[in-house]
A and B are shown apart, each in its own frame.
Chain A
């Protein structure tokens, strides 16, 4: 081995492959590829309600505190009105990609973007 060499040719090949894979990772996981089709709205312990994202519409959803209004527009969904105090749900903004999530804990309403066939009904921790 050359005394001063820090990287070998095989090292450079590995680093190049790694650097080439990075943009693909960003495109695949951060790009718009995984657009959601259906939003699942859950209120307290009720059965989840499924809402298609292709039809722009506003949905009033009743929770224990009052009525939250959820808006669907151009394949996206968000909270636009909520009786809760800190409005974290509204500040979550638009959800559109698969598995994105927003919740209003005071009013016990949550929205998840789901694929056509969700693999589980709920998660317990």
Chain B
């Protein structure tokens, strides 16, 4: 085996950009994980602001990378990798990415139907947050707590999702306005 040559991974500019953005999302995720929450399972999910900003600036593929990297690396750093928390987090991220992808690709259709601006960050954020919660609750029901009593939590959790979704969406739009001043 030739040991004199170190292994070089070819990285593209895309990779660097995704890594930097994911690092930002992970940092926000960590800060949020350190804050106590009044209701277990409810937190603002501000790391998703990064996902949304990436979605609007670089498209769905990059957003999916940033979001999934955040789930994996974030759980390694918090120490919840492969625990139920991680499974729920992954389920939430996948559900919300699926809905975001669907809505993102529906936008041209919406624009043709007369809604000229299509869905903005606020609408997408609310959709994503609700999908995140629903995906998590269904996963929890299937894998962790096989009891229908779990669905009694759904109204509260969806209320929180809508509120935090609107807040994250507004933050995202403010960031996007700063990043793209002439649009």
Give the interface of A toward B (CB within 8 A). 1, 3-15, 18-19, 21-22, 25-26, 29-30, 98-101, 120, 123
Point out the residues of chain A lying under 8 angstroms from B146, CB to CB: 120, 123
Within B91-128, the residues touching A (CB, 8 Å) are 110, 115-123, 126-127
Taking A25-B154, A29-B155 as contacts, is the C-beta distance between A99 and B148 under 8 angstroms? Answer: yes
Q: In the bound complex, do residue A15 and residue B126 qualify as a contact, i.e. CB atoms below 8 Å apart?
A: yes
Q: In the bound complex, do residue A123 and residue B120 qualify as a contact, i.e. CB atoms below 8 Å apart?
A: no
Q: In the bound complex, do residue B148 and residue A98 qualify as a contact, i.e. CB atoms below 8 Å apart?
A: yes
Q: Could you list 7 examples of A-B contacts with CB < 8 Å?
A: A1-B183, A5-B120, A10-B118, A10-B120, A11-B121, A14-B127, A18-B162
Does residue B152 face the partner (Cβ distance < 8 Å to A)? yes
Alpha-carbon gap, A25 to B154, bound state (A): 8
Q: How far is the CB of B95 from chain A (nearest CB, A)?
A: 16
Q: In the bound complex, do residue A18 and residue B155 qualify as a contact, i.e. CB atoms below 8 Å apart?
A: no
Q: In the bound complex, do residue A3 and residue B183 qualify as a contact, i.e. CB atoms below 8 Å apart?
A: yes
Q: How far is the CB of B156 from chain A (nearest CB, A)?
A: 9
B115, B147, B155, B181: residue with the most chain A Cβ atoms closer than 10 Å:
B155
The interface bits of chain B over 146-160 (1 if a CB of A lies within 8 angstroms of the residue's CB, else 0) are 111101101100110
Alpha-carbon gap, A5 to B119, bound state (A): 12
Within B26-53, the residues touching A (CB, 8 Å) are none
Q: How many B residues are at the interface, by size bracket? A: 20 to 34
Alpha-carbon gap, A124 to B115, bound state (A): 52
Segment from B16-24, B74-82, B165-173 that makes contact with A = B165-173
Alpha-carbon gap, A7 to B149, bound state (A): 36
Q: In the bound complex, do residue A18 and residue B120 qualify as a contact, i.e. CB atoms below 8 Å apart?
A: no
Q: How far is the CB of A110 from chain B (nearest CB, A)?
A: 13
Q: In the bound complex, do residue B155 and residue A9 qualify as a contact, i.e. CB atoms below 8 Å apart?
A: no
Which 5 residue pairs of A and B lie closest in terms of their CB atoms, listed nearest first? A11-B123, A8-B117, A14-B123, A8-B120, A25-B155
Q: How far is the CB of A59 from chain B (nearest CB, A)?
A: 23
Nearest-neighbor residue (CB-CB) of A7 within chain B = B122
Point out the residues of chain A lying under 8 angstroms from B177, CB to CB: 3-4
Taking A1-B183, A11-B169, A25-B154 as contacts, is the C-beta distance between A100 and B122 under 8 angstroms? Answer: no
Does residue B54 face the partner (Cβ distance < 8 Å to A)? no
Point out the residues of chain A lying under 8 angstroms from B166, CB to CB: 15
Q: In the bound complex, do residue A10 and residue B115 qualify as a contact, i.e. CB atoms below 8 Å apart?
A: yes
Point out the residues of chain B lying under 8 angstroms from A8, CB to CB: 115, 117-120, 122-123
Q: In the bound complex, do residue B149 and residue A101 qualify as a contact, i.e. CB atoms below 8 Å apart?
A: yes
Q: In the bound complex, do residue A11 and residue B119 qualify as a contact, i.e. CB atoms below 8 Å apart?
A: yes
Nearest-neighbor residue (CB-CB) of A113 within chain B = B149
Point out the residues of chain B lying under 8 angstroms from A5, CB to CB: 117, 120
Nearest-neighbor residue (CB-CB) of B180 within chain A = A1
Does residue B130 face the partner (Cβ distance < 8 Å to A)? yes
Q: How far is the CB of B101 from chain A (nearest CB, A)?
A: 16
